Structure 1
Amino acid sequence: MSNPLKIATLSFWHVHAGDYSRQAQAHPGTDLVAVWDDDAERGKAAAEQFGVEFTGDLDALLAREDLDGVVITTPTNVHRDVMVKAARAGKHIFTEKVLAPTVAEAEEIVAATDEAGVKLIVSLPRLYHGYTQAISEVIDDGTLGTITYGRVRLSHDGAIPRDGVEGWLPQRFFEPSTAIGGALTDLGCHPVYLTQLFLGAHPDTVSATYRSIAERGLEDNAVVVVGYPDQKIGVIEAGFASPNPFTIELFGTDGTLTYTDAGNVLLVNGEQVDVPEHSTDAFAQWVDHINNGTRADDNIARAVELTRLVVAANEAAKTGNAIAYN
């Protein structure tokens, strides 16, 4: 391995490609050295922005012995193909969520990385935020009693035109063949994996209602309801059509918890609770796993379960029926 690790960003299709590329430049253990993109104009512009090499030849890039890892920010529909190819080339993988369009593809990616001995981590950033740690501690100490209901909402206004200009979220995020899904599949991943953390990863029913306020091709307003065998209910909300504060609500037999990122305020039974600093982010964890030869067991397991619930929600929305979850 190189020291620092040599990293390439694969595609600037996703809006967070620049964020992760900046992380690769800022982290003392990594060095961004190249950009690949199947859209040469987009890729060349990104490479120029970051002062690195551009290549349109993915196979040649992955064959480079001096390349240690890749950041995957391609269209969702090619995640499996690109990640399996990268794993077989011996490159460690940091990827944008969702891991893949289907559970089978997600499991294929995990198997390929394990077989190749490369380190995989999926960007699930809110798992490592301070409020998540604080909320998990409240749940674990029993203050709320038995959880009966949870709601997590995350929304921005990226689909909505302003002053005659199309919304800031690129139209490619609304192309069904490449994005796979809209607000729920993209932004909704965060409420999904938080709901799975707080309420459990194994509901028995999933229902969903999707709507398209801006009518750009995929849903920009989504609500998913998950029901659990022990009778609790989880509500997952995501949207590209309103700039609401990020909110979490949990209700139990003995109390209530609310969190909003408007002021970073966490209330438990009406009393404000301190929110700690964020823990190590996913990118830094990835670098540590590479250097220490360890596997991101929890992150990978949650990424697969995230894929499973997103797939189920999309199916429920498509059919208009609550579906059994397994």
Structure 2
Amino acid sequence: MLDIGVVGAGIRGRMFAQALGQLPDVRVVGVADPTPAGAELAAELGAAAHAGHEDLLAAHDLAGVVVATPDFAHRDAAVAVARAGIGLLVEKPLATDVKQAREIEAAVEGGGGPAMVAFENRWNPRFVTVRRQITDGAVGDVLFQCAHLNDTRFVPERMLSWAARTTPAWFLMPHTVDLALWLSGRTPSSVYATGLRRELARDGIDTYDGVHALVTFDDGTTLALQSHWVLPESYPSVFDFRYELVGSRAAVRVDGSDEGVHFAGPSLQWLHHSTVERDGRLVGVAAEIARDFAGLLRGEPVTAPTLAEGVAVTAVVAAVHESVTSGQVVRL
């Protein structure tokens, strides 16, 4: 039996806890979160509630821990888990600081258990299909990539209590940067970016409305990125996700927010089904990530995003922020 702890009882922590707890040889035995949400989730799972990761690690003999705290707060828990020799699943991004990301990686390499980063697009069937076309040679050389991943104002204004402590680039771009690196296999060499800080700041949330970035790879190919979170809430999905790739033999376009189920009630909604609950069990992407994490803990051969890849993504998004601030091209 694999005993698992969860640090962070927000949307992602709750989702991974439920997905792991439904596996036949896994028990979620502890939840660390100082807010009432932590005690609530622990009670639902029949697990112990803890105020912080230190208490969680001291109280249980754990095989693995999920770190799903806010994106700027991964380092301390992840390093502590790794130093205890326990397996680690970290929600994206690995960290919002390159030094902290490398500290997590070093702690794992220095004696930690197996580790992975939850870049969920790696499990999305649409992008798995695109990658197969690339690896089979149907696309040819990847020349240009463009990724739009945006949110409605609901996310910074009502979903995240900590929006002012992050940016749309940190919250959203790790998804698209990892996707582009995974699909193309390219190495980034430079970043140029611009950002706008206006509408949300006027409403008392001191963060960027949006960020645009151009990543140039070492072979001259490029990736254009857009992430903002000021779409009106009348948009039919809480997020807008579009990905385009042009290769020497073919082109690909993926609409990641319109999953084909349109619900017209008082307003039009695009219903999402990449992860859904059926008969009390999660099925879809979250369940697949949980299954692979459990497999990793058992020592099974699992293909999952590595901490080195997590560090690479953090380095690109950190360079995006440096370029926004300096107005200069940042070399990687």
TM range (shorter): 0.7 to 0.9
Query: Which of the numbers 71, 75, 94 marks the counterpart of 2:70?
Result: 75
Query: Which of the numbers 138, 159, 163 marks the counterpart of 1:173?
Result: 163
Instruction: Report which of the two has the higher share of strand.
Output: 2
Counterpart of 1:291 in structure 2 is 298
Q: Write the distance in 1 (CA, Å) between the matches of 2:37 and 2:286.
A: 33
Residues 185-194 or 23-32, more deviating: 23-32
Counterpart of 2:187 in structure 1 is 202
Query: Which of the numbers 313, 327, 330 marks the counterpart of 1:323?
Result: 330
Q: CA deviation at 1:27?
A: 2.1
Q: Secondary structure at the match of 2:59?
A: coil
Q: CA deviation at 1:229?
A: 3.4
Counterpart of 1:270 in structure 2 is none
Question: Percent identity between the aligned chains?
Answer: 22
Q: Write the distance in 1 (CA, Å) between the matches of 2:227 and 2:288.
A: 23
Q: Write the distance in 2 (CA, Å) between the matches of 1:36 and 1:247.
A: 35
Superimposed CA distance per residue, residues 3-30 of structure 1 (whole angstroms, 9 cap, x where no aligned partner): 1x11121123x43121112112222232
Q: CA deviation at 1:318?
A: 1.6
Counterpart of 2:200 in structure 1 is 214
Query: Which of the numbers 227, 233, 239 marks the counterpart of 2:216?
Result: 227
Q: Write the distance in 1 (CA, Å) between the matches of 2:285 and 2:74.
A: 28
CA contact (8 A) 2:71 2:171 kept: no
CA contact (8 A) 1:63 1:89 kept: no
Query: Cα RMSD between the aligned structures?
Result: 2.7
CA contact (8 A) 1:210 1:317 kept: yes
Q: Write the distance in 2 (CA, Å) between the matches of 1:23 and 1:318.
A: 39
Q: Write the distance in 2 (CA, Å) between the matches of 1:24 and 1:120.
A: 15
Q: Secondary structure at the match of 1:35?
A: strand
Counterpart of 1:163 in structure 2 is none
State the one-letter code of the partner of 2:66.
V
Q: Write the distance in 2 (CA, Å) between the matches of 1:280 and 1:228.
A: 33
Is the counterpart of residue 281 in structure 1 residue 296 in structure 2?
no
Q: Write the distance in 2 (CA, Å) between the matches of 1:154 and 1:170.
A: 17
CA contact (8 A) 2:7 2:68 kept: yes
Superimposed CA distance per residue, residues 48-75 of structure 1 (whole angstroms, 9 cap, x where no aligned partner): 3444321225433212353322111123
Q: Secondary structure at the match of 2:169?
A: coil
Match runs of 1:148-167 below 5 Å: 148-159=143-154, 167=157
Q: CA deviation at 1:134?
A: 1.6
Superimposed CA distance per residue, residues 148-206 of structure 1 (whole angstroms, 9 cap, x where no aligned partner): 2111222221447xxxxx8332231322xxxxx31111122111111112334422220
| Alpha carbons of structure 1 residues 116 and 230: separation in structure 2 relative to 1, 3 Å | closer
Match runs of 1:255-274 below 5 Å: 255-261=250-256, 262-263=258-259
Counterpart of 1:188 in structure 2 is 173
Superimposed CA distance per residue, residues 241-262 of structure 1 (whole angstroms, 9 cap, x where no aligned partner): 2245421111233432111132
State the one-letter code of the partner of 1:88.
R
Counterpart of 1:8 in structure 2 is 5
State the one-letter code of the partner of 1:197.
W
Q: CA deviation at 1:225?
A: 0.9
Structure 1 length-normalised TM:
0.81
Q: CA deviation at 1:313?
A: 1.0
Q: Write the distance in 2 (CA, Å) between the matches of 1:248 and 1:303.
A: 20
Q: Secondary structure at the match of 1:108?
A: helix
Stretches of structure 1 that go unaligned for 5 or more consecutive residues are 161-165, 176-180, 265-276
Q: Write the distance in 1 (CA, Å) between the matches of 2:44 and 2:207.
A: 30
State the one-letter code of the partner of 2:200.
A
CA contact (8 A) 2:119 2:305 kept: no
Is the counterpart of residue 132 in structure 1 residue 132 in structure 2?
no
| Alpha carbons of structure 1 residues 200 and 36: separation in structure 2 relative to 1, 3 Å | same
Q: CA deviation at 1:234?
A: 0.7
State the one-letter code of the partner of 1:247.
R
Counterpart of 1:268 in structure 2 is none
Q: CA deviation at 1:280?
A: 7.8
Q: Write the distance in 2 (CA, Å) between the matches of 1:156 and 1:172.
A: 15
Counterpart of 1:267 in structure 2 is none
Is the counterpart of residue 48 in structure 1 residue 43 in structure 2?
yes
Q: Write the distance in 2 (CA, Å) between the matches of 1:57 and 1:129.
A: 32
